[in-house]
Each structure stands twice: as C-alpha cells, then as structure tokens.
C-alpha cells in the first residue's frame, strides 16, 4: 500500500464539465507551466520531434511533449542525463515533458523481453547481456530525465491476449509495481507520478484496478494497455468504465491514442490527455492530416495543386505570407516529399498543429457548452455529410453519452 504521504507537483483546475457528455475542460498547472485540457501531446522519442527545432515545436503551441524513457536510457544514457542535468537541459525545452516508464517499448520492441515479479528482463540491444528493468530502475531513470510527468512501470500485455489469467496477473502486478514506484520516487515535489490502470478488456478487472489505484492517490491517472488493435467499441467501454470511477479533480491520460476521431470520442467519454506518434510519423510518408481526411501529397494529383496543405489552416506552413506564414503549397510538398527532409518537417509542423488546434477547438466547445454540436460538425466534415460512412463504434459510443451523430 501507500508507503509515504502522496505528494504532487501539479494543480488541476476543472474549468467546465460538458452538460451532455462526460467531456471536461481544465487547466493543468505543471512544473514547467500550465497546459490546457483536453490536450494532444506530440512524441519527441529521442528528445527531438522528428526534424523540428524546439522553437518550431513551440510555434505549434505545444507546451507538453513526450520523451521515451527506453530510448533516452540507451542514448544518451542515465549517466549523461545526470551529468547534463536532465532532459529539459538536454533539448533546451523550457516547457513540460512527460515520459513513459520504458516498459511498454521494451516489451513491444524487444522480442525477448520477459516479465517477472521483479521487473522486465531483456537482452541489452547493445551487447546482448541480460538486463532487468525494475519499477525502481524505471523511476530512477525518469528521475534523472526530470520529466514533469512520469509513468509507473506497468505489466503491459496486449488487450487482445486470450489469456485471461495472465491479464489478471498483469493487473495485480501493475498495482504492486505502483507501490514500488511510489516508494522509489525521489522527486515527488517536482515530478508527477501517474498510475496506469490495466485489466485488458475485462470491465470488472478494469473497475477493480481503478479502485485500487485511485486509493494510491497519485497526482494523475492513466488508462493503459489500449491502442493495441482492440475493437474500438471495446476500447470505448474500457475508457467509459474507468472514467466513471475516477475522481473529477485529477487528469486522465489515455496512452498511445491516437487518431483524431478516437481522441474526440474519448474526450466525450471523460479522458483529458492523449499522445501518438502518428502525426509526425505519417508526415514522413507525405501524409497531410486535415479536417476532411488524410491525404498523401506524394500522389501525382498534387503536383499542380497550388492550394495550401489545408485551406484555412493557421499553421506556419499553410498560413499565407501576408499573414506571416510561409504560404507553402501542396505542389511544393509534392515537389520535396521523399527528396528533401524539409518536406517531412513542413508536414510535421502542419500535422502537429492540426492535432493541437483540433484540441483547442474541442476545449473551446466544451467551455461554451457546445461540444455535442462540435462532434456533429467534425464527423460531418470528415465524411462529407455521408452518415453511412460514420464509424459505428463512434456513433454508439457517443450515443451512450447523449450525442446522436445520426440525428438530422
């Protein structure tokens, strides 16, 4: 159980609750400044967001980005991080950083990782020697990184696993590991430890885990183990179940999600924070994320398309020169895509801005008590008003919180 009095380095101000859905607008005060919830967090895996300078990332209005503990633990390594004074100093990022525990990436990237009560055993990708990531080591690494939000080490297995006993074991082990993480955390007054709710797609396990973890009173709460290819309707049920049991006055983070419509539905189900590598990753393949879908600008059709990447977009890339932007056209992105890295950088700027702007719009709608209408408009725009193309899981999940996407 909780071995020391809970400490927190954040303040959560709930601004508005949506009168219809479970959506919330809040301000989260973190050690490196306030952020507005709900929010999307871009992923700067190795202390750099694919080709953007920290200044450009700041320009997209991002004030909280992710670093991956697994990668920073390898390069530059804990010793170097300690010598430099942490990840903020490493990347000269004056705003907030969230790190994962490293466990998920170990299990997903290293085939030979094996989970025991002690921790995650794996072979070093450097020289193949056996190593062990314990809850204590993960927290120690994250303490060296100095991230504003750190995650507990959890026992992650795919939600799609058929092994119910293993899922149950993983859930209970994650609770035990949370206690070890709390005990090992050296900087509770400057770094916020979030617990991670596990339990696969079993709603009873999820409920039990939620209650146990809420009792530990961490500054924030994450819902983990999702975004692993489970059916979207089951995903929504898990989020809905967990948020119903969570206290109002703590931030809720759904890890590894995702696509714009996943995020907007999850917001309606009461989640606040999201992260995904997709906007930057897809940019490298020439994909532009817009309010009417994702387009591959490497397609020949864009060679002569002199419109901005997304019309009306206010990002540095799309904004006309007369308004201080670059006025970059689709034709130009087509011209450089896959030939000069700058093409991917420009699209990353647009894509990250698109996600952040979408969240800004969602938050405004929540504050003004028009989030249901915002959802209706979003899906209408995405599917050009063709309701038959609306994804059934989204329609169902939103109906469950009082929004009928199909109503006239």
Partner 1 sequence: MFNIIKSTPQSLGPRLGRLCLPGRKAIETPHYLGVTSRGVVPHITQDTFRRDAGINGVYVPLEDFIERAPQKIPPIYEFSPPDGSSPLRRFIALPEETVLVLGARRTPPVLAPAANPNTNTSISVCTAVGFRTLKAEDYAKAAEHLQPDIVVGLGDIPYGRALGSKRIEKATDRQIQWMQDHVALRNSNGKTKGRSKLFAPLSLVSCANQRFYMDCLTEQLGELVSGLAFYNLAPLEDLPAALHSLSRLAFTEPSTPHDILQQISMGIDVFTIPFISAATDAGIALDFTLPAPQITPPDHEHVAPRTLGIDMWLAAHAIDLSPLTKGCKCYACTKHHRAYIQHLLLAKEMLGWILLQIHNHHVLDLFFAGIRQSIALDVFDSERRRFEEVYNAHLPEKTGQGPRVRGYQFKSEGPGEAKKNKAAFTMLDDGKEKIAEARQEDVEVVVDGKGGEGGGSPAA
Binding-site residue ranges: 100-104, 154, 198, 225, 313, 315, 318, 350
Q: Which two tokens stand for residue 54?
A: 């920290």
Q: Is the peptide bond prior to 258 cis by the omega test (within 30 degrees of 0)?
A: yes
Q: Which two tokens stand for residue 278?
A: 């997709």
Q: Which of 100, 148, 262, 272 is catalytic?
A: 100
Q: Which two tokens stand for residue 189?
A: 């007054």
Q: Which is nearer to partner 1, 183 or 338 (CB)?
A: 338
Number of residues that bind Zn ion (CB under 5 A): 7
Give SS3 for 28.
strand
Q: Is 267 in the site for partner 1 (CB under 8 A)?
A: no
| Cβ contact 309:342 at 8 Å | no
Q: Is 344 in the site for partner 1 (CB under 8 A)?
A: yes
Q: Residues 149 to 208: which contact partner 1 by CB under 8 A?
A: none
- What kind and span of H or E run contains 122? strand 120-123
Q: Which is nearer to partner 1, 50 or 232 (CB)?
A: 50
CA angle 240, 243, 245 (to 5 degrees): 115
Phi, psi of 101 (to 5 degrees): -85, -15
Q: Is 49 in the site for Zn ion (CB under 5 A)?
A: no
272 is catalytic: no
Q: Is 311 in the site for partner 1 (CB under 8 A)?
A: no
| Cβ contact 246:222 at 8 Å | no
From the list Zn ion, partner 1, none, which binds 313 (C-beta under 5 to 8 Å, kind-based)? Zn ion
Q: Which is nearer to Zn ion, 209 or 315 (CB)?
A: 315
Q: Which two tokens stand for residue 308?
A: 């901005």
Q: Which of 265, 240, 358 is nearest to 223 (CA)?
A: 240
Q: Which two tokens stand for residue 43?
A: 């992923």
Nearest distance in Å: CB 55, partner 1: 7
Give SS3 for 131.
strand
Q: Is 306 in the site for partner 1 (CB under 8 A)?
A: yes
- Which residues belong to the annotated binding site for Zn(2+)? 313, 315, 318, 350
Span near partner 1 by CB under 8 A; candidates 69-77, 182-190, 380-388, 396-404: 69-77
- Which residues belong to the annotated binding site for substrate? 100-104, 154, 198, 225
CB atoms within 10 A of CB 408: 4
Q: Is 313 in the site for Zn ion (CB under 5 A)?
A: yes
Q: Residues 335 to 374: which contact Zn ion by CB under 5 A?
A: 350
From the list partner 1, Zn ion, none, which binds 53 (C-beta under 5 to 8 Å, kind-based)? partner 1
Q: How far apart are CA 96 and CA 117, in angstroms?
A: 32
How many Cα atoms are found within 13 Å in the side-chain-facing hemisphere of 261? 24
275 is catalytic: yes
Q: Is 43 in the site for partner 1 (CB under 8 A)?
A: yes
Out of 76, 291, 361, 391, the only residue in the binding site for partner 1 (CB under 8 A) is: 76
Q: What is the DSSP annotation of 267-279?
A: HHTT--EEEESHH
Nearest distance in Å: CB 59, Zn ion: 12
Nearest distance in Å: CB 159, partner 1: 16
Q: Is 294 in the site for partner 1 (CB under 8 A)?
A: no
Out of 36, 105, 152, 191, the only residue in the binding site for partner 1 (CB under 8 A) is: 105
Give SS3 for 222.
strand
From the list Zn ion, partner 1, none, which binds 173 (C-beta under 5 to 8 Å, kind-based)? none
Q: Which of 286, 282, 290 is nearest to 308 (CA)?
A: 290
Q: Is 3 exposed, middle or buried (0-12, 13-18, 19+ CB in 10 A)?
A: exposed
Q: Which of 148, 155, 275, 357 is catalytic?
A: 275
From the list Zn ion, partner 1, none, which binds 254 (C-beta under 5 to 8 Å, kind-based)? none
Q: What is the DSSP annotation of 19-73?
A: SSSS-EEEEEEETTEEEEESEEEEB-TTSS-TT--HHHHHHTT--EEEE-HHHHI
| Cβ contact 224:101 at 8 Å | no
Chain residues binding partner 1 by CB under 8 A are 43, 45-48, 50-56, 59, 68, 71, 75-76, 80, 83-84, 89-92, 104-105, 108-109, 256, 277, 281, 284-285, 303-304, 306, 316-317, 321, 326-329, 331-332, 334-336, 338-342, 344-346, 349
The set of catalytic residues is 100, 275
Residues lying near Zn ion in the complex (CB under 5 A) = 309-310, 313, 315, 317-318, 350
């Amino acid at each position: 159980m909780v071995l020391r009095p809970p400490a927190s380095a954040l303040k959560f101000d709930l601004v508005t609750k949506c009168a219809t859905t479970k959506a919330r607008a809040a301000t989260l005060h973190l050690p490196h400044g306030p952020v507005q919830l709900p929010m999307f967090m871009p992923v700067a895996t190795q202390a750099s967001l694919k080709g953007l300078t920290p200044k450009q990332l700041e320009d997209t209005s991002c004030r909280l980005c992710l670093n991956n503990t697994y990668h920073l633990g390898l390069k530059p390594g804990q010793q170097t991080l300690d010598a430099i004074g942490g990840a903020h100093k490493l990347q000269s990022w004056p705003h907030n950083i969230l790190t994962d525990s490293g466990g998920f990436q170990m299990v997903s990237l290293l085939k030979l990782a094996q989970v025991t009560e002690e921790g995650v055993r794996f072979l070093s990708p450097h020289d193949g020697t056996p190593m062990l990531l314990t809850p204590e080591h993960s927290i120690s690494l994250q303490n060296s990184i100095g991230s504003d939000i750190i995650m507990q080490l959890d026992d992650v297995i795919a939600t799609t696993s058929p092994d119910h006993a293993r899922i149950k074991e993983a859930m209970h082990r994650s609770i035990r590991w949370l206690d070890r993480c709390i005990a090992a955390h050296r900087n509770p007054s400057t770094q916020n430890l979030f617990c991670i709710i596990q339990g696969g797609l079993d709603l009873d396990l999820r409920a039990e885990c939620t209650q146990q973890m809420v009792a530990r009173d961490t500054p924030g709460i994450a819902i983990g183990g999702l975004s692993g290819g489970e059916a979207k309707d089951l995903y929504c049920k898990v989020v809905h179940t967990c948020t119903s049991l969570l206290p109002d006055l703590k931030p809720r983070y759904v890890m590894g999600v995702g696509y714009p419509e996943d995020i907007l539905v999850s917001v309606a189900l009461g989640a606040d924070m999201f992260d995904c590598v997709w906007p930057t990753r897809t940019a490298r393949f020439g994909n532009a994320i817009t309010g009417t879908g994702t387009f591959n600008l490497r397609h020949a059709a864009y060679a002569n398309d002199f419109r901005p990447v997304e019309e009306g977009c206010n990002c540095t890339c799309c904004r006309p020169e007369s308004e201080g932007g670059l006025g970059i056209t689709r034709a130009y992105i087509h011209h450089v895509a896959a030939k000069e890295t700058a093409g991917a950088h420009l699209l990353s700027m647009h894509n990250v801005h698109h996600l952040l702007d979408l969240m800004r719009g969602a938050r405004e709608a929540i504050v003004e008590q028009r989030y249901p209408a915002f959802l209706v408009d979003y899906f209408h725009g995405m599917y050009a008003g063709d309701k038959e193309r609306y994804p059934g899981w989204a329609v169902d999940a939103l109906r469950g919180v009082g929004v009928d996407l199909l109503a006239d």
